[in-house]
Amino acid sequence: MSSPVALVTGASSGIGRAVASMLSAEGYDLVLCARREDALEALASELREQHETDVMVRPVDLVDLNDVSAIVPELLEHFGRLDVLINNAGMVEKSSLQEMPMGFMQRAMAVHAIAPAILVRDAWAALAEADRGVVVHVSTVSTLSPFPGLAAYAMSKHALEGLARSIQAESEEQGLGIVSLVIAPGAVDTDALRSVLEGIEPPAEALVPMDEITSLFLACIGGKHDQEAGGVIYIPAPGVVTADAERAMEALEACWGGPGEG
């Protein structure tokens, strides 16, 4: 019997890399997607050596939607199945609303909403055939407390959350077992967060450890949060996991003394 297969976007660094490593340790074969082929190849080599994982490296810029539409057919040709889709890839371009270039809005929507929708569309049949087909999307607590200058980022993550709800609604209406969940972290010490903060050091008590993030992914994939299917699970601060937006905001304010970061 073949191993379960997971597709992880944004797998070259940060949360995507950590989740890919966790899934490899759990016995998943992997499709790793990101722009940086060298970083993907380095991770693939590491995972093959550590866990004998079958890894398909698929470089892609999710802005190129035609290329995105080729990913699922290619992975199905290679593996013949897909069990888990992790829509993690993200990008941050900072601009005030009144000065925001059209390109910022277009790229944010492509990467955070349209490309994930294409992957879900193309993977729908395979996920429906899986013993447990799961889609986990990575959003942000900044949908609750927007960071000034990141309107394109925040609005496109709202669109991603809408996609997650639609997946769950259609899965249920069709009598399928596909489960769709959103994980919305607060501050995780990644290159993306550092680029947003522009040299400002985040409060130590606000940083969510990466192992807490990966543990939540594993719990979602394993069915421990199916009661939140179609919804958002926030992890705004260390030790805080909640589907309650008000509680998430309270945890953010306790750490930051005001609006949180995502």
What percent of the chain stands above pLDDT 70? 92
Record: fold of 5-184+206-232: Rossmann fold (3.40.50)
Give pLDDT tens digits for 105-153. 999 999 999 999 999 999 999 999 999 999 999 999 989 988 888 899 9
Mean pLDDT of the chain: 92
Tell whether pTM > 0.85: yes
Residue 83: is its pLDDT beyond 80?
yes
Residue 192: is its pLDDT beyond 70?
no
Given a contact cutoff of 8 angstroms between Cβ atoms, the answer to whether 184 and 213 are in contact is no
The domain spans of the chain are 5-184+206-232
Give pLDDT tens digits for 202-257. 677 788 999 999 999 999 999 999 999 999 999 999 999 999 999 999 998 888 77
Residue 261: is its pLDDT beyond 50?
no
Residue 260: is its pLDDT beyond 80?
no
> Which residues touch 100 (CB under 8 Å, ≥6 apart)?
151, 152
Give pLDDT tens digits for 45-66. 999 999 999 999 999 999 999 9
Per-residue pLDDT, 259: 44
